[in-house]
Amino acid sequence: MGRRAVAKPSETEAEKDLLNDESFSGRQFITALARGLDVLGAFRVGDPPLSNQELARRCRLPRPTISRITHTLTELGYLSYHEGFGCYELGGAMLTLGHVAKASFDALQDAIPIMSELAAFSNANVGIGTRDRLNMLYLIVAKSPSGIGLRFEAGSKMPLIQTAMGRAYLVSLGGDEGETLEARLLKRYADEADEVQAAIGAARAEYAKHGFCSSVGNWHEDVNGIAAPIRWPAMADTLVLNCGAPASLLPRKRMLEEVGPKLVEAAQSIGEMLQASDAAKAAHWTGKADAPARKNPQDMS
């Protein structure tokens, strides 16, 4: 896509309700449930309690609909209501879900030394993320040692097509899954379909040649990024490793020629580490299953 970027969505557009997207149609899709989950997903780290009005704005839903959803979620414990403020925050039931979900990614903690080494080499922030609709969601982050860089934390999101992480995710997909995501992007950016298709084509060519994808001023004019997929077969979705920093800290030439190969190596090492961890867990549980059941001492007479 060159130096010209697909227009960055406004905050409201980036949070656009996609329930009318054709990819969400079908007899099995429960719209009411999806809207409830959208409300839960509207909360961000650092938010104050949110009003129905603010939730309606973020979710692009009518206030009466939001009121019914927040009432239901409060009754179930997924939201808590503050009488004094007339606002909502995530409730205790969400903590349980979050704890269970986090356990699925605990193995990523073992990747921190590899990520930190790459951050020191590249002088950039390093993250691992996966897709959330048409955004990329950070799961874990290693900060640049310079302390100067992009402000991303676990849970941060950024647009898919404008970023190296999103492009690496897209080109790593195959078959119907990749075609479906590409179609959704073209629909989302219908006014810039030619630029989106050009960006996807360039990303595929770059990945085929180098094993990574880059973004040079495509998200923000002064921000560069580079990313490569992580092979982790046990993970239902694709993970991506990225480096991102202001262009002054991560100039294009060094990013592509020096950091790129290191990033590909790091992604491969993390993938191998995760697969080895899975194999060790499988052996552990298989051993437990094969072990003879312990007898109750009281039965041994």
Residue 133 pLDDT grade (very low, low, confident, very high; cuts 50, 70, 90): confident
Does the CA dihedral 108-109-114-115 come out positive or negative?
A: positive
The pLDDT score that the predictor gives to residue 3 is 44
**pLDDT value at 160 more than 70:** yes
More confident call, 152 vs 119: 119
Same structural domain, 23 and 148: no
Which tokens is 11 given? 């905050």
Could you tell me the residue range of the domain that residue 217 belongs to?
105-284
Same structural domain, 197 and 70: no
The whole-chain average pLDDT of the chain stands at 85
Same structural domain, 176 and 79: no
Looking at residues 78-94, what average pLDDT do you find? 92
Count structural domains, the chain: 2
CA gap 69, 159 in Å, rounded: 27
Lowest mean pLDDT of 31-35, 99-103, 153-157, 267-271, name the range: 99-103
Q: CATH number for the domain including 86? A: 1.10.10.10
**pLDDT value at 182 more than 80:** yes
- The answer to whether 96 and 119 have CB atoms below 8 angstroms apart is no
Same structural domain, 112 and 56: no
Please name every residue paired with 230 in a beta bridge, in sequence order, or none if there are none. Answer: 239
Same structural domain, 88 and 124: no
Q: Please provide residue 46's backbone torsions phi and psi, each rounded to the nearest 5 degrees.
A: 90, -5
Helix (H, G, I), strand (E, B) or coil at 85: coil
Lowest mean pLDDT of 22-31, 143-152, 226-235, name the range: 22-31
Residue 288 pLDDT grade (very low, low, confident, very high; cuts 50, 70, 90): low
In whole angstroms, how large is the CA radius of gyration of the chain?
Answer: 22
The pLDDT score that the predictor gives to residue 24 is 55
Same structural domain, 122 and 189: yes
Please name every residue paired with 224 in a beta bridge, in sequence order, or none if there are none. Answer: 216, 245
Question: Which residue, 130, 112, 97, is CA-closest to 236?
Answer: 130
Residue 291 pLDDT grade (very low, low, confident, very high; cuts 50, 70, 90): very low
Residue 259 pLDDT grade (very low, low, confident, very high; cuts 50, 70, 90): very high
**pLDDT value at 153 more than 60:** yes
Same structural domain, 76 and 133: no
Same structural domain, 22 and 118: no
Q: Tell me if 8 is assigned to some domain.
A: no
Highest-pLDDT range among 122-136, 183-197, 255-269: 255-269
One-letter amino acid for residue 128 of the chain: I
Looking at residues 115-128, what average pLDDT do you find? 95
**How far, in Å, are 289, 292, 293 from residue 299 at the CA level?**
22, 15, 13
Question: Directed axis angle between helix 260-290 and helix 112-122, to 10°?
Answer: 180
Q: Tell me if 272 is assigned to some domain.
A: yes
CA atoms within 13 A on the CB side of 13: 7
Q: What percent of the residues of the chain are helix, what percent strand, and what percent coil, each to the nearest 5? A: 50, 15, 35
Same structural domain, 74 and 131: no
CA atoms within 13 A on the CB side of 180: 11
Q: What are the strands, taking DSSP E only, across 83-185? A: 87-90, 125-132, 135-142, 157-159
Q: What is the pTM of this model?
A: 0.77
Does the CA dihedral 245-249-251-254 come out positive or negative?
A: negative
Same structural domain, 82 and 156: no
**pLDDT value at 240 more than 70:** yes
Q: Report DSSP state, residue 145.
A: T
- The answer to whether 6 and 196 have CB atoms below 8 angstroms apart is yes
Q: Tell me if 124 is assigned to some domain.
A: yes
**Position of tokens 């001023």?**
217
Residue 247 pLDDT grade (very low, low, confident, very high; cuts 50, 70, 90): very high
Render pLDDT for 11-68 as a digit per residue (tens, 0 to 9). Answer: 344 344 444 444 455 678 898 999 999 999 899 878 899 999 999 999 999 999 999 9
Q: Please provide residue 115's backbone torsions phi and psi, each rounded to the nearest 5 degrees.
A: -65, -40
**pLDDT value at 150 more than 80:** no
Same structural domain, 192 and 227: yes
Which tokens is 192 given? 């810039």
Looking at residues 191-220, what average pLDDT do you find? 94
**Position of tokens 């874990």?**
140
The pLDDT score that the predictor gives to residue 181 is 93
Same structural domain, 135 and 249: yes
The pLDDT score that the predictor gives to residue 292 is 47
Lowest mean pLDDT of 24-38, 167-181, 217-231, 243-257, name the range: 24-38
CA gap 124, 150 in Å, rounded: 8
